[in-house]
Every structure is written in C-alpha cells, then in structure tokens.
Amino acid sequence: MEKVVLAFSGGLDTSVCIKLLEEEYDKKVITACVDVGQPEDEITRPAKLSTEMGLEHYTIDAKEEFAREFIFRAIKANAVYEGYPLSTALARPLIAIKIVELAEKVGATAIAHGCTGKGNDQFRFESIIRSYSDSDVIAPIRDLNLTRSEEIAYAKSHGIPLPSDKLYSIDENLWGRSIEGDILEDPMVETPEKAFSWTCSTEDAPDKPEIIEISFEEGVPTEINGELMGPLDIIQECNKVAGMHGIGRIDIMEDRIIGLKSRENYETPGACLLIAAHRALEQLVLTREEIKFSEIVSLTYSELVYNGLWHEPLRDDLDQLIDNMQGRVCGNVRLKLHKGSIRILGRKSPFSLYQEEAVSFEDKEMDQREIAGMVKNYGIQAACYQDVCRRK
Ligand code: ARG
C-alpha cells in the first residue's frame, strides 16, 4: 500500500481525512504535526489520536525556525495584509516544507491536507509542496466537496472522535490567532468575548498603563527592558504583555485569494506591538525616500505571503533589499501600553537622521534666508495650473 503523509491537526477536517484516505484512496496514512507555536493540547492531541488509531505519527518542532526565519522577516518587512499582521499565512510554507521533508524520509508518494476548497491554505500548502517535491497532493475534503455537517456525520458513523467544544475555526501559531466561522460569519454580529484567548478586553485591561522598552538590532528585536532575549522569548513576552493590555484585536472583512470576502477576527498582540515599535524606529533612521519605498515593498511582500508565494523569487529579492535597509534599524523604542492602545514615548538610534540642533527654533547656524529661494519656486506647476484655470 502506498504511503501518504497527512498534515494532522487533530481537528475535524484532518481527522475525517485519515479515514477517507484509508477508505477512499486506499493509502497507508502517516500523520504529522508541525509545531509552530500552537497551544500545547494541539500538539499532544493529534499525537494521542493518531497513536490510538495505530498510526505512525511525527511531531516536528519548528518554533525556533518559524521565529527566526519567518516572523523576524515579517517584522523587518512590516508584513501586514489588509490591516492584520500575517500569521496563518506566514506559517503555512514552513509547515509544508517540513511535511515535504518528512514524506521523503518515510518514503511516502503522496501528501495530504485537510483544507477546504474555499480558503487560502490550499494554495499556500500546495504551491510549496509542488515546488519542492514530486509527491501527489490529496485534498480529500475539497475533492469530495464535503460540508461541515457531512464531515460530522461521517465522523460519527466511522467512530472518529470529534474535537470538543470548538465552536469556531481557529488557527493559532506563535505570531497570531485567527478566529472564524459559526456566528462570526454574519459581519453584523459582535464577536463574543469568549472567542478571544490571547487578549483582554479594553474594559478588563488594567487601569494602570505599562511602559516597555524594546531594543532592535538590524531590524529585529533583541531586548526587552534592557534584557537580552532570544526570538522565541521576545515574541512570547510581547504577546503576553500586549495581550494583557487589550492590544491586538482585529476584526476585518478580508479578501481571500479566490475572491471571496470573509469576516476574520485576529488576536496578534505581540505582532502589533513589535511592528509599531519597529515602524517608530524606521521613522528615525530611514530617509524619506526609503520610508516611502518600503511602504510599497511591504505591500507587495505581504501580498506574496498572503497569496502563498513565499517561494517566489521576488520575495527573496525583496528580502535582500529589506536586509540592506534594515542594517541601520538599530536602537531603542519606549512605548506605553494602555487599554488597547500603543503610544510611542521615545526612540533613539546611533543611526538617527534627526538633527535636533538644525530643526530647533533657537538655531542660527542654518541660515533661514538661504531657504527663501527654495520656497519661492516651490509648487510652480500647481501655480501654473491655477493660472491657466483663472484665464479660461
Ligand atoms: N483567513 C486567514 C488567512 O488566510 C486565516 C485562516 C486560518 N484558518 C482558520 N481556520 N481560522 O490567513
């Protein structure tokens, strides 16, 4: 029997996939769960379920790599899509790469995933799998056009344990948590408080603000309040602190790859904090031209990632440009966190382009009279245009 490696989360879709792969596709199923910072039970549950079903299961810890190679790049690029810091989209390529490596190791001829045919993840997984391996790709839920209730019925009739009390479809990794489905599909329905788990509501956030100082080296965070920390610890700490102050709840109408709009809720406290701090530092050290251009770079970068094109050479080209610019993004940013808001209190950098003396009202060194000529012809095209309009 040919082997298939299934990316297994322990959720409804992928649990149903196990039986479908055996019964409908006649495969020997090997399951794998790539740890990109899901909650503990989302790592242990699939392992347990799989073993109970007598399957071979692999847990692959990719947290450190995810933080260093993906999240840190996202910080340098200020990777935000339609207003939300990319999280699910950022982890998918790494998960796919790890599954490809495993499939090769165990001699599987196919790779399976539990994505439906409506979402983005099918694009993100399959584009990577097809680029890095010759394996067949099987997407049972999409192939059989199954609805959620059909899946539940199938699970019940095949003795597949249903994940308990999961009302919403949730995807969680180190960089963020996305919540969709059920009553949230009505964009007029307010997201219930119980849907959130990383962030506190503004009402319940502490009355007392908290001040935090983040240091950056070459565009990535290295210290919190003067304490040197590794990527994983920094990300986790920022999630904790910002989440406690009600930062990082995002409710948007998102445009999916296939064109459908969907209502999405995100909790990305650490990402919101770190990107805000990073941007504040960039304002100090990058030139006007660089800042303007990085807005475009950031937009394109984020679209590539969202659209599942992590392996597109342009992403790599942009990363090289970004790395070059980020060389000077070093320094400290002090921020105040209070009831859902982030305020920049201060920033400093050895590469600062700010000239305090020159901009000062007390400075005489920079002779104001020399600027008069520059001002005189400023906006000359607009002036000509207004003149033409008057004469018409
Ligand atoms: N719509 C988001 C994205 O494509 C998140 C989807 C994650 N899946 C989920 N079941 N919540 O990035």
Assess whether pLDDT exceeds 90 at residue 26. yes
- Start-to-end Cα distance in the chain: 83
What pLDDT, on a 0 to 100 scale, did the predictor assign at position 333?
98
- What's the rounded Cα separation, in Å, for the pair 33 and 24? 22
What pLDDT, on a 0 to 100 scale, did the predictor assign at position 167?
80
- At 203, is the secondary structure helix, strand, or coil? coil
| Together in a domain, 154 and 224 | no
Q: Catalytic residue numbers?
A: 13, 92, 121, 169
Q: Please identify, by atom number, the ligand 1 atom nearest to the C-alpha of residue 89.
A: 12
User: Is residue 303 situated within a structural domain?
Assistant: yes
| Together in a domain, 19 and 45 | yes
Last residue of a domain, one of 144, 168, 192: 168
Q: Please identify, by atom number, the ligand 1 atom nearest to the C-alpha of residue 119.
A: 4
- What's the rounded Cα separation, in Å, for the pair 213 and 226? 7
Nearest CA to ligand 1 atom 4: 120
- What's the rounded Cα separation, in Å, for the pair 373 and 199? 54
Last residue of a domain, one of 168, 203, 224: 168
- What's the rounded Cα separation, in Å, for the pair 297 and 293? 6
The mean pLDDT value of the chain amounts to 96
Select the more confidently predicted residue: 227 or 164.
Answer: 227
Q: Is the CB of 180 under 6 A from ligand 1?
A: yes
User: Is residue 317 situated within a structural domain?
Assistant: yes
Percentage of the chain beyond pLDDT 70 is: 99
Q: What's the rounded mean pLDDT across residues 63-79? A: 98
| Together in a domain, 262 and 318 | yes
> pTM for the full model?
0.95
Instruction: Give 148's contacts (C-beta < 8 A, 6+ positions apart).
Output: 12
Which of 119-133, 310-324, 352-366 shows the lowest per-residue confidence on average (mean pLDDT)?
352-366
What pLDDT, on a 0 to 100 scale, did the predictor assign at position 362?
84
| Together in a domain, 188 and 330 | yes
| Together in a domain, 155 and 30 | yes
Q: What's the rounded mean pLDDT across residues 5-17? A: 95
Q: What's the rounded mean pLDDT across residues 359-388? A: 91
Beta bridge partners of 267: 177, 249
- What's the rounded Cα separation, in Å, for the pair 11 and 280? 39
| Together in a domain, 120 and 28 | yes
Centroid of ligand 1 to alpha carbon of 171 (angstroms):
6
What pLDDT, on a 0 to 100 scale, did the predictor assign at position 203?
97
pLDDT band at 357 (very low <50, low <70, confident <90, very high): confident
User: Is residue 314 situated within a structural domain?
Assistant: yes
Taking only Cα atoms into account, the Rg of the chain, rounded to an integer number of angstroms, comes to 25
Say which CATH number the domain at 330 has.
3.90.1260.10
Q: What's the rounded mean pLDDT across residues 240-266? A: 97
Please give the distance of CA 2 from its chain centroid, rounded to a whole number.
Answer: 35
**Residue ranges making up the domain that contains 37:** 3-168
The answer to whether 38 and 12 are in contact (CB under 8 A) is no
Probe ligand 1: pick from 38, 180, 260, max atoms within 8 Å of CB? 180
- What's the rounded Cα separation, in Å, for the pair 316 and 146? 37
Q: Is the CB of 250 under 6 A from ligand 1?
A: no
The domain tally of the chain equals 3
Chain segment 120-135, per-residue pLDDT in tens: 999 999 999 999 999 9
Tokens of 48: 């347990």
pLDDT band at 288 (very low <50, low <70, confident <90, very high): very high
Say which CATH number the domain at 118 has.
3.40.50.620
Smallest CA-to-CA distance from 5 within 128, 135, 120 is with 135
DSSP 3-state percent helix, strand, coil across the chain (nearest 5): 45, 20, 35
The answer to whether 315 and 301 are in contact (CB under 8 A) is yes
Chain segment 30-51, per-residue pLDDT in tens: 999 999 999 999 999 999 999 9
Probe ligand 1: pick from 120, 182, 251, 302, max atoms within 8 Å of CB? 120
Q: Is the CB of 264 under 6 A from ligand 1?
A: yes
- Signed CA dihedral, 328, 331, 336, 337: sign only: positive
User: Is residue 96 situated within a structural domain?
Assistant: yes
The answer to whether 256 and 119 are in contact (CB under 8 A) is yes
The answer to whether 106 and 141 are in contact (CB under 8 A) is no
| Together in a domain, 85 and 181 | no
Assess whether pLDDT exceeds 80 at residue 351. yes
Probe ligand 1: pick from 86, 171, 252, 302, max atoms within 8 Å of CB? 171
What pLDDT, on a 0 to 100 scale, did the predictor assign at position 165?
63
| Together in a domain, 237 and 333 | yes
Which of 190-194, 256-260, 358-362 shows the lowest per-residue confidence on average (mean pLDDT)?
358-362
What pLDDT, on a 0 to 100 scale, did the predictor assign at position 277?
98
What pLDDT, on a 0 to 100 scale, did the predictor assign at position 83?
94
Assess whether pLDDT exceeds 90 at residue 162. no
Assess whether pLDDT exceeds 80 at residue 345. yes
